[in-house]
Amino acid sequence: MLAAFCLVPWVRPARALEAPQGKVVLTILGQVSTTNAPGRAEFDMAMLAALPQRQLVTHTPWHKGLQTFTGPLLRDVLAQAGATGHRLVAMALNDYRIELPLDDLQTFDVVLARLHNGEPMRVRDMGPLFIVYPYDSDERLRNDRYYSRSAWQLRSLTVQ
């Protein structure tokens, strides 16, 4: 049983997920077992900030120079919702939609950024949430396939 847990770390025993106290900034739908609203897990910014934070320093194709992004690992957010499946469909505020294989989250430390260079991200600055791959950590990540998976202005994730 422990070996399976290690292979798919976003699958954890179900426990109560607190209801958001502030504005909902992320909704996780689909194959989730831990919910705090009918059929979904909702997160406010405080809930995301309460998870272990990762600081990612990397170049991106959208910014000049090194950038610092801070937030929880996306796999940790999915673990909070008891997500199981093979892929994610990310949806942005502007209805941009992209599919990501869940394998990405095991292979790479993908961050759900809530801070950019230490500041909360505004909607007009790619916020409030931005899926960021560690582009500088692996040459394979520096191409349009992974850049397109980096949805900004993220509003929801559907686990399939």
Q: Where are the domains of the chain?
A: 22-159
- The predicted structure's pLDDT at residue 2: 37
- The predicted structure's pLDDT at residue 48: 98
Q: What is the pTM of this model?
A: 0.89
The CA distance from 28 to 35, in Å, is 9
Identify which has the larger pLDDT, 49 or 7.
Answer: 49
Task: Return the exposure string of 130-149: e unless at least 16 CB atoms fall within 10 Å of the residue's CB, then b.
Answer: bbbbbbeeeeebbeeebeeb
pLDDT at 123 exceeding the cut of 50: yes
The CA distance from 123 to 129, in Å, is 9
pLDDT at 73 exceeding the cut of 50: yes
Percent of the chain with pLDDT over 70: 91
- The predicted structure's pLDDT at residue 3: 37
pLDDT digits (tens, 9 = 90+) for 31-44: 999 999 999 999 99
Rounded to the nearest integer, the mean pLDDT of the chain is 92
The CA distance from 67 to 45, in Å, is 21
Q: What is the pLDDT averaged over residues 14-32?
A: 91
Choose which CATH entry (3.30.70.100, 3.90.420.10, 3.40.50.720, 2.40.50.140) describes domain 22-159.
3.90.420.10
Tokens of 6: 């290690």
- The predicted structure's pLDDT at residue 15: 59
